[in-house]
Chains A and B, each alone.
Chain A
Amino acid sequence: MNERPWTTDSPSDASGSSSRDEPLAAGLAPEDGLAVDRRGFLKVLGFGAAASLAACERVPVHHVLPFTIAPEHVRAGLPVEYAGTCTACEARCGLLATVRDGRPIKLEGHPDDPRTRGGLCAVGQADLRALYDPDRLRAPTAGGQPTSWTALDQTVRRQLDELREQGLSFLVVTGRETSPTARRLIESFVTDRGQWIEIDLQPQSPQAPIEAYQTLTGSRLQPVVDWSQVDQVVSFSSDYLGAGADPVANTRGVADRRRQAKERGALTHVQIEGSRSLTGAAADRRLAANADERRSLALRLLGEVAARTSESDLATSLKAALSGLSEDEVATRRAQTLAVELLAAGPKGVVVCGDDDPTEQLAVAAINHMIGAVGRSLRLEEPLFESRPRSGVGALRAALADESLGGILTIDVDPVRQLSDGEAVAQRIAALPLSVAISARPTATTRACRLVAAAHHGLECWGDHQRTADRLQIQQPMIQPLFESRAPYENLLQWSGADATDYRTHLKESWEAHVPRPEGVGFDQFWHESVAAGATALPVSEGVASPSFDWTDALAAFRRSAAAVPAPATSVLELELLAEVALRDGRRAHVPWLRELPDPLTRVSWVPVFRISPALAERQGIEDGDELEVQIEERSIRLPARILPGQAEGVVGMPIGYGGEGEDPAWNAYRLTTLAGEGMKWTVAITSLRKTGAHEKLPLMQVWSSTEGRPIVYQVSKPDEAVHAPHHPAASLWKDREKKSPQWHMSIDLDACTGCGACVVACQVENNIPVVGEQGMRDHRDMHWLRIDRYFMGEADDPDVLFEPMMCAQCDHAPCETVCPVTATAHSADGLNQQAYNRCVGTRYCANNCPYKVRRFNWFDYRPKDPVEQLVLNPEVVVRSRGVMEKCTFCVQRIQSARLTARKSDQPGAPKVQTACQQSCPGAAIRFGDATDPEGDIATDRHEPRAFQVLAELGIEPSITYLARVRNRASSEADSSSGSKPHGG
């Protein structure tokens, strides 16, 4: 096992002092001399006396430390919820943190956030563990040695003054900054000889479409899809449901629209992509295509749309510009089908594009214009914070090359890891007179910089964030700082010699000066209300006047590209650098929950793999786990292969989230990127690919991808199509229980589930589920109570993907309960399959008798040992020890708490309970409630034609109902595989 800071202790040293190899009693002789002589007898007697004395001692003395003065709203043992903003990525979803006894123990999406409405992705959920990361920087350092804040401040201020005296400049490098207050602060900080550069180092950057509209309209405009208006979406590798720009909000929008299919027709989704993404897995139809094919298909689609719209000057000139496209029967037919569908949808159709190719982006913008999507399914908005001059990776390189540069200050970014020539950047930084990194964790950049300012985690500091024009969100601390760190932007206040050096005071002053508040409301009241709500509404000016389009440049680009479209070739191989759902760009790659979250598609955790197509695997004789060496010009990378049906034949996928601090630097895919304007290019041509002959057993959560025709998961082609699941036999081995209200039951709508894994992490946080580490995953000792099974169905090369969240179904006739020899698992009156951990002796009979394989056994002591790490534990849930079986209990601690609250306040009926998975789901796919309530959600879902239960034919009466996935294939390409009959792939 690799030595990594986030792995749990290796099993060998995990058992601590009570080693299982110690003899039972110290006085007993070893096996060969068991005869007890007089001395031996006395020894045993002596041990017995000592043991009995020890047993007479009271339990260890525990102390209770009350407050000296109790804070007004804090009661020991009662959770308090605070509103805030998630700072794990730039989506900045609204947050509700549950704080128990001064420490946040759970992060949830804020139900009042109009974009996410309570959803929060896996990364946001797991950000809590980044707060309690024992490897965080605990104090500022200078030259690698701990220093005081006073000394660091003096050094930075002196060196900044020296730079200015010498006429040298300095750089401030940040990620995409979403805080208006921080932006104003940076702007003022760089006024004297400074330059501020924002870098965006992720695929699917929102900048690419903005650049396209800049070319077309002369003004920077951002296309925003209004999912409630869309009937037909064509996506060119946009991963809007997965690792793209705003997955939680998009997932909710799409899921809500799909739920209206019965009333107003289906939302049909066609995905064109090289590497299979979550968005591609959710598509109703999918076309695998490499980067060149995608660009040419976008151009052909534009041509076909132009040919079918009424005669106009634009249509004529587009047709003329695209006449140079080479003959390609297959591509033309695909384009024609898409054009017909899009034009049928008209303004309710929309095309989105996640590629970095400028011509493809232009073509997509042109198609949206031609079908009239703009103003209906697509809004053009002025992006926030776009007033600054040139910024981006290109600007950063130019600035670093500038001779007059004397200093650099990085804030929460890691350019050394994330630029292709990172080593050179590191050398350049080290050679500067002033180099400061503000970071919460050690990174490649903090190693390159001489001064390191340890930063607070986002949950420890104040701030504000803006994602839409009409709403300003608050970020507030949920805990006292754990270490000697500082809020990132407090440093700028210190170093610029501001009067107020406390960031909270600065933020309040900034709000008082800049944020409009309702008339007649004093600032203190306004501030208080905004902090409590987590956000305040901003007045919105009138929408963007419809921009005037100038097609000259675009037509020229189309003409050039059309002439340059290469003939289809299967021998070309390209490497697609992609963001995975869990690790994204690697910013949170140190969080063990995210490392252990298996990728929804490859089902691999902990390590990066090359994703290759079955066709390529067959051609080159590659199997899962074979090590591949991919050569890109001078560089080569070795990673194990994972065959992923649906991958375009010539496209090899590689994740970008790996290779950070403490990891194999060869895993860092950023070394392969190239520059494209101010952004980066995420596809590179592969020079050669070969098998090295090495092979490894991958850490796979799921080894089999097919249901083998068994009735486990279903998809239908219409929302009202019925699933014909097998019925369970009339005779049963079990007696029926009396079913009084409440009987807890769950329903999961597979049509709203994208497999994103937010529920898996939410469950892990809520229920203190341990991390078993890379070797544990290789040994299939995963502990996730809730897993998302992924099945392939249909054609072997590009099958449909079906996700099925799978957890304990709390069977009414539970096979596990029948076989437990110590009654550690028993049924409760409200229909739960209880697990009394302290009663379990670890026979594992129950796990063997569970048809869903959802019971988890603690093979080792996985409990966190580090005191900082232990802060994350939920005090409402027992931390299980070695040798104990555990499983999902439908969040019984939440049920219990709701039950007590209901009884204390004399509320009639079943209490309202939200399980952790249900709460977190961005698509609101999970519903939970009392099955005996005839008007309730559960009864409604159970009567849906799409409803089915997994393995119900065993007569075990599971308490989870699934609703089948709907694949809208009503159009010309509807295929026979979309029936309700399940079949393997």
Chain B
Amino acid sequence: MSLLTSHPIRRGLGLVGLALLCGTACEPNNQGYAPEQPVVYSHAVHAGTMQIPCQYCHFGASESRYAGVPPASICMNCHAQVLPEHPEVQKVAAALAENRPIEWVRVHRLPDHATFDHSIHVAADLTCQTCHGPVETMGRVEQWAPLTMGWCLDCHRQGGGIETASVAARPAGRGNELTDCSSCHH
């Protein structure tokens, strides 16, 4: 019996092939994910053309862990007057009238074992685009960054080329807690 036909080797080869097939097929993260949403909504129009500040709608970002998807009532603050007859606006108006939440499809999602807090990153003067990319040009929002641990650590180790005023001004003695496991995993 030749070496190549012995059982473990052959099985091993099969598994290597399998792994190669899996591995080459796609990226291990969700980068580029841009699902269709129940309401056709363009950030390019709202954040780009109209220049509405991000936190007008995502008002949780400065206080909470979650930036939050805006309640339908926020949309209708403007759309009660602006384009009320638009078919997509009508969907939102109907949701509000029926008190039925719109089922948006989540684009950015970290695994359950990682904790991310928007508010502290906003407080550190990071722009939303640092992690979310040029949202103001996106018709349909996609996951721009890989959102992997290595990608987070690029900044947390301050090697990612992002040096903000507040990171630099952080009091001494609190330095490497930014790379402590428990900063994100608890």
A571 within 8 A of B: no
Closest approach, in angstroms, between the C-beta of B155 and any C-beta of chain A?
A: 16
Closest Cβ–Cβ distance, residue A62 to chain B (whole Å): 4
**How many residues of B are in contact with the other chain, CB < 8 A?**
62
How many whole Å from A477's CB to the nearest CB in chain B?
20
Contact B7 A65 (CB under 8 A): no
Min CB–CB distance A101 → chain B (angstroms): 10
* A826 CA / B176 CA spacing, docked (Å): 13
The contact of B185 among A45, A59, A878, A895, by CB within 8 Å, is A878
Contact indicator per residue, chain A 909-929, by CB within 8 Å of chain B (1) or not (0): 000000000000000000000
B95 touching A68, Cβ below 8 Å: yes
Cα of A76 to Cα of B99 in the assembled complex, Å: 18
User: What CA separation (Å) do A35 and B9 show in the bound complex?
Assistant: 10
| B120→A830 contact, CB < 8 A | no
A741 touches B173 (CB 8 A): yes
Q: Which residues of chain B (5-37) have a CB below 8 Å from chain A? A: 5, 7-8, 10-11, 14-15, 17-18, 21-22, 24-26, 30, 33, 35
Residues on A with C-beta less than 8 A from B17 are 44-45, 48
Q: B170: shortest Cβ distance to chain A, in Å?
A: 8
Docked-complex contact B18 and A51, CB < 8 angstroms: yes
Q: How far is the CB of A275 from chain B (nearest CB, A)?
A: 42
Contact in complex: B18, A876 (CB < 8 Å)? no
Nearest-neighbour CB distance to chain A for B70, whole angstroms, equals 6
Residue of B nearest to A47 (CB): B18
Asked whether A68 lies within 8 Å of B101 as measured between CB atoms, the reply is yes
B101/A828 in contact, CB under 8 A: no
Which of B14, B68, B72, B180 interacts with A68 by CB under 8 Å? B72
* Set A58, A68, A70, A892: member contacting B182, Cβ < 8 A: A892
B7 touches A829 (CB 8 A): no
A544 in the interface, Cβ–Cβ < 8 Å? no
Instruction: Report A892-910 CB contacts with B as 1/0, cut-off 8 Å.
Output: 1101100110011000100
Asked if B73 is an interface residue, CB under 8 A from chain A, the answer is yes
List residues of A (47-71) whose CB comes within 8 Å of B's CBs.
47-49, 51-53, 55-56, 58-59, 61-70
- Which chain B residues border A64 with CB–CB below 8 Å? 69, 103-106
User: Contact check: which of B5, B18, B60 meets A76 at CB < 8 Å?
Assistant: B60
Q: Are A837 and B106 in contact (CB under 8 A)?
A: no
Q: Are the C-beta atoms of B176 and A829 separated by less than 8 Å?
A: yes
In the bound complex, how far is the Cα of B177 from the Cα of A830, in angstroms?
7
Which B155-179 residues sit within 8 Å CB-CB of chain A? 170-171, 173-177
A398 CB-CB contact with B under 8 Å: no
**Residue from A53, A829, A878, A904 within 8 A of B113 (CB atoms):** A878
Whether, in the assembled complex, B127 has its beta carbon less than 8 Å from a beta carbon of chain A, the answer is: no
Number of interface residues of A (CB under 8 A): 59
A832 within 8 A of B: yes
Q: CB-defined interface of B105-116 with A at 8 Å, one 1/0 digit per residue? A: 110010111110
Contact between A55 and B14, CB atoms less than 8 A apart: no
In angstroms, how far is the closest chain A Cβ from the Cβ of B154? 19
Complex-state Cα separation, A899 to B171, whole angstroms: 13
Contacting pair B112 A75 (CB below 8 A): no
B101→A48 contact, CB < 8 A:
no
**Interface positions of A from 9 to 54, Cβ below 8 Å from B:** 25, 28, 34-36, 41, 44-45, 47-49, 51-53
Q: Looking across the interface, which residue of chain B has its beta carbon closest to that of A62?
A: B106
In contact, A61 and B105 (Cβ under 8 angstroms): yes
The docked-state distance in angstroms from the alpha carbon of A837 to that of B181 is 10
Query: For the complex, is B140 an interface residue (Cβ under 8 Å from A)?
Result: no
CA distance A878 to B111 in the complex (A): 10
What separation, in Å, do the CA atoms of A900 and B62 have in the docked complex? 12
In the complex, which of the residues B26, B66, B113 contacts A56, with contact meaning CB atoms closer than 8 Å? Answer: B26
**In the complex, are the beta carbons of A34 and B11 less than 8 A apart?**
yes
A window 759-802: CB within 8 A of B = none
* A61-B35, A829-B175 known; A36+B185 contact, CB < 8 A: no
Question: Looking across the interface, which residue of chain B has its beta carbon closest to that of A53?
Answer: B25
Provide the bound-state CA to CA distance between A78 and B24, in Å.
Answer: 41
**Chain B CB within 10 Å, residue with most, of A67, A826, A879, A908:** A67
Give chain B residues whose Cβ lies under 8 Å from the Cβ of A832.
180, 182
With an 8 A cutoff between CB atoms, is B86 at the interface? no
Taking a contact as CB atoms closer than 8 A, the residue among B8, B25, B103, B109 that contacts A55 in the complex is B25
Does A706 touch B at the CB level, under 8 Å?
no
Which single residue of chain B is at the shortest CB-CB distance from A61? B105
Q: Which of B30, B100, B101, B183 contacts A58 (CB 8 A)?
A: B30
A903 to B123, CA, bound (A): 9
Whether A889 lies near B69 (C-beta < 8 A) is no
Q: From A739, which residue of chain B is reached at the shortest CB distance?
A: B173
Say yes or no: B72 contacts A66, CB within 8 Å. Answer: yes
Task: Verify if B131 is at the interface (C-beta below 8 Å from A).
Answer: no
Which residue of chain B has its CB nearest to the CB of A27? B14
CA distance A35 to B60 in the complex (A): 59
Q: A35-B10, A59-B30, A62-B105 are in contact. Are A837 and B18 (CB under 8 A)?
A: no
Q: Name the residue on B nearest A878 (C-beta).
A: B113
- What CA separation (Å) do A45 and B21 show in the bound complex? 9
Inter-subunit contact B64/A878 (CB<8 Å): no
Please state if A25 and B182 are interface contacts (CB–CB under 8 Å).
no
Cβ–Cβ contact B186 & A69, under 8 A = no
Query: Which residues of B lie under 8 Å from residue A75 when comparing CB positions?
Result: 60, 63-64, 66, 68
Cβ contact within 8 Å between B119 and A838 = no
Name 24 A/B residue pairs within 8 A (Cβ), A-sorted: A28-B11, A35-B7, A48-B21, A52-B22, A52-B24, A58-B30, A62-B106, A63-B104, A65-B104, A66-B72, A75-B66, A77-B64, A78-B60, A78-B63, A834-B181, A834-B185, A835-B181, A836-B182, A837-B185, A838-B185, A889-B182, A896-B115, A896-B182, A904-B123
Starting from the known contacts A34-B8, A65-B102, A69-B96, 16 additional A-B residue pairs (CB-CB under 8 Å) come to A35-B5, A44-B18, A48-B22, A52-B22, A55-B22, A61-B106, A63-B104, A66-B68, A67-B71, A830-B180, A878-B112, A893-B115, A896-B186, A904-B119, A904-B123, A908-B171
Closest 4 CB pairs of A and B: A48-B18, A828-B180, A838-B113, A740-B173
A residues with a Cβ closer than 8 A to B are 25, 28, 34-36, 41, 44-45, 47-49, 51-53, 55-56, 58-59, 61-70, 75-78, 740-741, 826, 828-830, 832, 834-839, 876-879, 889, 892-893, 895-896, 899-900, 903-904, 908
